[in-house]
Amino acid sequence: MNRSGDDHGALMDLGHDTPQVPAKARNTSPIVPRGSIAGRALVAVVAIMTFLASITTGAVLLISASASEWQSEVASEITIQVRPVPGRDLERDTLAVAEAARAQPGIVEVRPYTKAESAALLEPWLGSGLSLDDLPVPRVIIAHVVPGTTLDVAALRGLVTQAVPSASVDDHRAWIERMRSMTSATVLAGIGILALVIMATIISVSFATRGAMAANRPIVVVLHFVGAGDRYIANRFFRHFLRLGLQGGVIGGGAAMLGFGFSESIAIWFSGTPVGDQFAALLGTFSLRPSGYLVLAAQAVLIAAITAGASRRTLFATLNDIE
């Protein structure tokens, strides 16, 4: 059909004056209107999910970092106890054990607690004015291990018991094992919560996508009429959901990062107070490392990608049902 020039004079008399070509006649509208997708609700859902996921991950990172600090501190110390035995001089035995420990390769410092220091250790339980001479209280020796080396505890135990049979060596292995178990449990719980959050995100996004497709069914039908394939139609919707997912991810992840940054400031303000000290003892400085913030950012992007992926999958499944 030739639609140019004068060939169509017969069809140009439709009762209108010859119109001017309007300057505005352009494709400016998106094929899928933005307002037709329940965007705000979906952004809010993704933002909340990303926030919860980020708080969980951040908390796991903080606890893991603190636990590893505790572990390294505890692992770098050895405690030797010298129990009083009738007929033996406890002071002399303590010095002998300290000398024996110093001879062990890998020990960098040995510090026997004096009688007064031992009394101070027991003061919270037994009160002040305690006379250790009246009680069979063992003497404690703290030995520091060269960082990064593995101490031969069996050899040290042999040396120490050879010097004083009533001495014993504690390398805090039980504590370290408990710490490891606690950290692993925390990380596992964090992964579990993350999995739940991601599942909830996928379900929410799938519902939102189905809702959007139902609301836009007439558009899908018309696009089918003009020869659009499912891939073309899905891509039109997919862009919206990708953008909504990214918006939600940025809001939720950003809020969580701000929260962690703010909590660092709060920890600094409260440092020196009993509450602050308690928190510091439990969670260290309560500050995420830069790598922690990177993990949170990567997680926000991951949740946005999951949002887009879930939406894409639902789009194709829904399009199959629309002729």
Partner 1 sequence: MVRFENVGLRYGLGPEILRDLSFQIPAHSFQFLTGPSGAGKTSLLRLLFLSLRPTRGLVTLFGHDISLLGKDEIADLRKRIGIVLQDFRLLDHMTTYENVALPFRVMGRDESSYRREVIDLLKWVGLGERMDALPPILSGGEKQRAAIARAVIARPHLLLADEPTGNVDPTLGRRLLRLFIELNKSGTAVIIATHDITLMDQYDARRMVLHQGRLHIYE
321 in contact with partner 1 (CB under 8 A)? no
Q: Is 26 in the site for partner 1 (CB under 8 A)?
A: yes
Q: Would you tell me how many other CB atoms lie within 10 Å of the CB of residue 283? A: 17
Rounded Cα distance between 75 and 170, Å, is: 11
Indicate the Cα dihedral angle 148, 161, 88, 137, nearest 10°.
50
| 3-state helix, strand and coil shares in percent for the chain, rounded to the nearest 5 | 70, 5, 25
Task: For 127-138, give the DSSP string.
Answer: -SS--GGGTTPP
Give the nearer residue to partner 1 in terms of CB position, either 49 or 319: 319
31 versus 283: smaller Cβ distance to partner 1? 31
**125, 226, 272, 321: which one binds partner 1 (CB under 8 A):** 226
CB of 207 to partner 1, least distance (A): 23
- Number of chain positions touching partner 1 (CB under 8 A): 41
DSSP E strand stretches across 73-197: 77-82, 107-112, 139-145, 167-170
Residue 39's nearest CA partner among 216, 286, 157, 179 is 216
Give whichever of 230 and 264 is closer to partner 1, judged by the CB atom. Answer: 230
Q: Is 8 in the site for partner 1 (CB under 8 A)?
A: yes
CB of 16 to partner 1, least distance (A): 5
Q: How far is the CB of 248 from partner 1 (least distance, A)?
A: 24
> Least CB distance from residue 276 to partner 1, whole Å?
57
Residues at the site binding partner 1, with contacts judged by CB under 8 A = 1-4, 8, 10-12, 14-16, 18-22, 24-29, 31, 33, 36, 218-219, 221-232, 320, 323
